A and B are shown apart, each in its own frame.
Chain A
Amino acid sequence: MLYREAGQFRSSYAEDQQIFPIRQDRIAVAALLVFAFVGVPLLANQYWLSALLIPFLILSLAALGLNILTGYAGQLSLGTAAFMAVGAFMTYNFELRIPGMPILVSFALAGVCAAAVGIVFGLPSLRIKGFYLAVATLACQFFVLWALTRFGWFSNYSSSGVITAQKIVIAGYAFESTRSKYLLTLAIVAVMALAAKNLMRTGTGRAFMAVRDMDVAAEVIGIPIMKTKLLAFAISSFYCGVAGALYAYCYLGTVEPEAFNLDLSFRILFMIILGGVGSILGSFLGAAFITLLPIFLNISSKAIEGALGIEVSHALVSNLELMIFGALIVFFLIVEPHGLARLWQIGKEKLRLWPFPH
């Protein structure tokens, strides 16, 4: 009853082609944005912002980047964290070496650097595909981390390869409090998510999907394979690079190359698989799930300990958490292989007919 587009007529092409053609969707998205920009900073405390919401937003952005590459263009990649590392370390260097560099420009340039790395490691995708490509992207993961550790220039010759993010100052305002960092992250993520959503509706996005569905067929209908695949790598890496920069500047503060290890790549891959491959919303849902799950497991294990009144050893708990995490992933893959975004879609379909499904 509430969610029904009956009576909403589109009388121009612009109306027909807007991102959210249904009024209720527009209202919902607007309400969500208002809540995220106004409500959350007012309601959430320090811990929620710094330990949950900021990493969630940043990882969503990284997942979005990977989703562009894997979900839309069909190129499986295991090197996501490496692109993030490039973004983080290049931002640091731009800020360090060019005096008075605006931070947002640094973010963008670092994204461009990540995109360049992405193009280089995307070159093999022209010849190989599937798992061969996935394994090949591991080369990127190991090579980038090795380079960042070994070449002191990247970390300004700090002894352990650790970089400390400079202060974020935009137009004279210093983003120091957690709240302001949250808002900055949110703004960047919102703009980039909107851009991604739009990009997928353009010719480029459709070319990505054609290549994903069958690259030989795409070539036959005149899509330049090389350009499309490399563009997918570039855009995806750009997103990951910016996400990495935010990871260093808005979340961790001090990072070492090891923070961007293979584990992070896998976590981001989990996010898009569980969230929904080839779905912008799915990237966010997946990121929320993977960010919250360990915290939820931790809290519930503490609660069980408290309820039973026994002291369980830390090793036991962490091993149990590992097992539950693995089992849950398998469970989710079995129950809903198309991810949480698919569940959302089914829910919407149901809602349209509710309360008279027949």
Chain B
Amino acid sequence: MQFFFEVLLGGLLAGIMYSLVALGFVLIYKASGVFNFAQGAMVFFAAITFVSLLEGGVNIFLAMLITLVAMVLIGIATERVVLRPLINQPQITLFMATIGLTFFLEGFAQLLFGSQPHGLELCDQIEEPRNCIRDEPMTWFADLTGGINVSQFDVFAAFVAAALVTALALFFQKTRIGRALRAVADDHQAALAVGIPLQHIWAIVWGVAGFVALIAGMMWGARNGVQYALTFLALKALPVLLIGGFESVPGAILGGLVIGATEKLAEVYLGPYFAGGGIENWFPYVFALVFLLFRPQGLFGEKIIERV
């Protein structure tokens, strides 16, 4: 039983990490109806920029700030160069455009910073002595619960995710820009009619998605190293989106938790029956598929009502 809880907890915490990536998708899909496949590449870009700045001896907060500026610039450029000329095109065209953007960003990132993997440690300062958040089990928690090992890093990531979601929720609910964002998400034309500048809003959304990508990139980079494989995170986030619904921020979090937990539990408990495991790759998708058969719009997605 204790093993079960350990797997479950590990899965839930890993799920939070997926949620971080999924959040970026949700933000952009909500506001512009674009399924942004480039989110994974944005995470990679942010992470490699950040880690290259750190290795160049830049202070961690300054590095974050510079990366954030870079991500916002990319967001604005994307809006200007890619999205604006494609207004009113079918969604699949926009989707393909973001795949093109993915290639571009992958090439650009590796052109600027090289393609070798980097290690990343989240520390408060560069010189010793320094406090780092490492992927180590928390001993006091294990003592408390009778030996359940939980990574200190995963817990930190969970707190970061919670803070991020809270900040986003406040931003969306309480600020003027947030209200405009929600209006745009609801109905483009109506938003335009009441004088909300669509283009600005999109630039902001892409900027915010860039910020989320930076956080996700830092977390994932610190966990698995900053490398090209980070771009495939986009694929991991997709079943999370299916379960949570494409338009819902809480859905992304809950979907992440569900996927993380089922994925790990399935690998441990079902894997041995399936040709020796390795089912982590497809199980989330099949799980999401079966889930969709019962609830086609995901947990919190908007119900689609069709009329002829």
Contacts and interface: CB of A to CB of B under 8 A. Distances in A.
Chain B binds chain A:
yes
Name the residue among A70, A321, A333 with the largest chain B CB count within 10 angstroms: A333
B115 A326 contact: no
B100 A330 contact: yes
Contacts of A14: none
A326 B282 contact: no
A333 B91 contact: no
A321 B102 CA distance: 13
A142 B107 contact: no
A150 interface: yes
Interface string A290-327: 00000000000000000000000001100111111111
B306 interface: yes
Contacts of B102: 326
Contact of A132 (B90, B242, B278): B242
Using C-beta atoms within 8 Å of the partner chain, give the interface range for chain A: 35 or more
Given A139-B285, A273-B92, A315-B110, A131 B246 contact: yes
A143 B286 contact: yes
B111 A76 contact: no
B239 interface: yes
A220 B246 CA distance: 29
B95 A131 contact: yes
Interface stretch (B147-155, B176-184, B208-216, B288-296): B288-296
A262 B90 CA distance: 23
A146 B289 CA distance: 17
9 tightest A-B CB contacts, nearest first: A326-B103, A322-B107, A326-B104, A329-B100, A139-B285, A323-B107, A142-B282, A150-B275, A330-B100
A142 B91 contact: no
B99 A319 contact: no
B108 interface: yes
Contact of B93 (A136, A146, A151, A337): A337
B169 to A, nearest CB: 24
Given A131-B95, A327-B104, A150 B278 contact: yes
A142 B284 CA distance: 10
7 contacts: A132-B242, A132-B246, A142-B285, A143-B286, A330-B101, A334-B82, A337-B93
Interface of B: 35, 81-82, 85-86, 89-93, 95-97, 99-108, 110-111, 114-115, 235, 238-239, 241-242, 246, 274-276, 278-279, 281-282, 285-286, 288-289, 292-293, 296-298, 306-308
B107 A329 contact: no
B100 A322 contact: no
Interface in A322-352: 322-330, 333-334, 337
A150 B89 CA distance: 41
Contacts of A138: 235, 238, 285
B49 to A, nearest CB: 15
A146 B282 contact: yes
A134 B85 CA distance: 24
A19 interface: no
Interface in A116-139: 124, 127-128, 130-132, 134-136, 138-139
A323 B238 contact: no
B101 A326 contact: yes
A198 B81 CA distance: 40
Given A143-B285, A216-B306, A135 B107 contact: no
Given A132-B292, A136-B289, A327-B100, A320 B275 contact: no
Contacts of A20: none
A118 to B, nearest CB: 15
Contacts of B286: 139, 143
A76 B92 CA distance: 8
Contact of B289 (A130, A139, A150): A139
Contacts of A329: 96-97, 99-100, 103
